[in-house]
Amino acid sequence: MLLPEEVNVIDVVCRDGFQMEKEFIPTEEKINIVNQLSQLGFKRLQVTAFVSPKAVPQMKDAAEVVRNIERKPGIEYSALTPNMKGASAAIEAGVDALDVFMSVSESHNKANIRMSVADSVNAIGEVISLAEKHDKPVVINLATCFGCPFEGDVPKDNVIKLAEDFLKMGVEGIVFADTTGMANPRQVYELTSEFLARNPKANTILHFHNTRNVALANILAGLQGGVINYEGALGGLGGCPFAPGASGNVPTEDVVGMLEETGISTGINLEGLIGLAQYLEKVIGRTLPGQVMKAGRVCDLHPMPGA
């Protein structure tokens, strides 16, 4: 079992976790959580989204969050920007990098962005040009890489072709996302090993949801496929609209826990991360799906009964 020695874990809770929350999280609380995350060893944090405040009221304070977080040197602070308007606002607010997104499957892209795949590629091309003018790197997030909740199977060749198109367009990185928890380990291994064989220098990131409990197995498969960048969301916050009651984002602290126990260094303070997940649970006001935040680290032993 060939595994890397070091892995880069990225937290996206302040975007992918918070955006599903109906109750507005106070701006100072969002800033506080980004600042706390900044102390734990991450090299990249996705901190907000510059989207329509009517469509996603939770993200209406995006510029204020970006302007007021404490920037720790060595961390890339990114924001999700769906279009030119969002990208301009994000650049003006001073983000380090832009995260753009679209779906590989036509029906999911239509449902989510109301565009064809080809039109999305063109629209994102304009955002990439804008970002280049301002020296901001762009990461493309490809949704439904491992299955579409409307169409079912998404051919691996479509995913690889689209990712390679974006490499040619000059993106800094590619996120292969399993938007609705449909991926399986064999599929992850086959996609990532083939993509990296064709594009050995591509900065490749995996984003799994734990909808069917398979997220950490998929990460193990991605590691064997050669991927060394993984996204998670603190506490596992953030659900899936198609699976009420099921888990959403893989909990960042569970990813770090598995990697560190497996002897793969993340540079992240797991104890601090567990404490922050427990704090987030209080902020959100309901039980979060993270397991390590409940069970503790493997090395946190217990006294013998009666001892």
CA-based R_g, the chain, Å? 18
Of the candidates 96, 158, 95, 166, the one whose C-alpha atom is nearest the C-alpha of residue 124 is: 166
Q: Which member of 39, 116, 122, 213 binds a second copy (CB under 8 A)?
A: 213
Q: Which residues touch 39 (CB under 8 Å, ≥6 apart)?
A: 72, 269, 272
Which listed residue (14, 145, 148, 240) is catalytic? Answer: 240
**Shortest distance, position 49 Cβ to a second copy, whole Å:** 20
Q: How far is the CB of 159 from a second copy (least distance, A)?
A: 16
Contact predicate 65/32, CB 8 Å:
no
Does position 3 bind a second copy by CB under 8 A? yes
> Of residues 214-253, which lie at the interface with a second copy (CB under 8 A)?
214-217, 219-221, 224, 240, 242-247, 250-251
For residues 218 and 144, give the distance between their C-alpha atoms in angstroms, rounded to a whole number.
15
Q: Is 240 tagged catalytic?
A: yes
Residue of 73, 200, 285, 305 interacting with a second copy (CB under 8 A): 305
The DSSP 8-state label assigned to residue 202 in this structure reads -
Is 7 a residue that touches a second copy (CB under 8 A)?
no
Number of residues that bind a second copy (CB under 8 A): 58
Tokens, residue 131 = 């970002």
Q: Measured at the alpha carbon of residue 6, what is the angle toward residues 298 and 224, in degrees to the nearest 5?
A: 90
Q: Distance (Å, rounded) from C-alpha 191 to C-alpha 146?
A: 9
Q: Please, which of residues 262-281 interact with a second copy by CB under 8 A?
A: 262-263
- For residue 14, give Cα distances in angstroms to 8, 35, 63, 130, 285: 18, 11, 13, 25, 16
| Strand spans (E) along the chain | 8-11, 44-49, 76-80, 97-103, 138-143, 173-178, 204-208, 229-232
**Interface with a second copy includes 32 (CB under 8 A)?**
no
Pick the closest to residue 63 from 45, 76, 51, 75 (CA basis): 51
294 binds a second copy (CB under 8 A): yes
Site string for a second copy, 146-185 (x = CB under 8 A): -x-xxxx----------------------------xx-xx
Q: Is 95 in the site for a second copy (CB under 8 A)?
A: no
Residue 115 interacts with a second copy (CB under 8 A): yes or no: no
Does 196 engage in binding with a second copy (CB under 8 A)?
A: no
Task: Catalog residues that contact a second copy under the rule CB under 8 A.
Answer: 1, 3, 107, 110-111, 147, 149-152, 181-182, 184-187, 189, 210-217, 219-221, 224, 240, 242-247, 250-251, 254, 257-258, 261-263, 287, 290-292, 294-296, 298-299, 301-305
Catalytically annotated residues: 240
